[in-house]
C-alpha cells in the first residue's frame, strides 16, 4: 500500500492534466497505477471511462504504433464524463513523444 502517493494522485484526480509516475525499476509504479484505478472504481467511476494499457503485455504489441494507440484510445473515450487513461511502459510505443498524440484525449 502506498497511501501518500495514492493520496497525491487522488488530489489531482479530476484535473485535466497528465500525471506522470516516475521512479527506478521495480519501485512499485505499476502497483500504484493499479491502486489508483481500483480507487477510482470504489469512488464510482464508470469502468467504461477507464482505459489501461501496459506495454509489457505482448498482446498489446499492435498498439506500439503511436497512431494505432491514439486511434484506439480516442475510439473508446466517453463524452459524458471524465476519462482516465493509464499507460504503463509507454517507452515501448515507438515515437510516443510525438506532439499531438494526446491532444484529443
pLDDT digits (tens, 9 = 90+) for 42-66: 999 999 999 999 999 999 999 999 9
User: pTM (2 decimals)?
Assistant: 0.80
What is the distance between the alpha carbons of residues 39 and 94, in angstroms, rounded to a whole number? 30
* pLDDT < 70 stretches in the chain: 1, 99-105
Exposure of 8 in the CB half-sphere (CA atoms within 13 A): 8
pLDDT recorded at residue 105: 59
pLDDT recorded at residue 86: 94
Going 70 to 73 to 76 to 80, the CA torsion angle's sign is negative
What is the distance between the alpha carbons of residues 96 and 102, in angstroms, rounded to a whole number? 9
Amino acid at each position: 500500500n502506498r497511501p501518500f502517493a495514492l493520496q497525491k494522485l487522488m488530489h489531482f484526480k479530476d484535473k485535466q492534466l497528465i500525471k506522470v509516475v516516475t521512479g527506478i525499476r521495480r519501485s512499485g509504479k505499476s502497483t500504484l497505477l493499479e491502486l489508483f484505478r481500483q480507487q477510482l472504481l470504489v469512488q464510482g467511476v464508470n469502468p467504461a471511462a477507464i482505459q489501461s494499457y501496459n506495454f509489457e503485455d505482448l498482446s498489446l504489441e499492435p498498439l506500439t504504433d503511436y497512431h494505432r494507440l491514439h486511434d484506439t484510445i480516442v475510439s473508446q473515450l466517453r463524452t459524458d464524463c471524465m476519462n482516465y487513461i493509464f499507460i504503463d511502459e509507454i517507452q515501448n510505443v515507438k515515437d510516443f513523444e510525438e506532439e499531438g498524440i494526446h491532444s484529443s484525449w
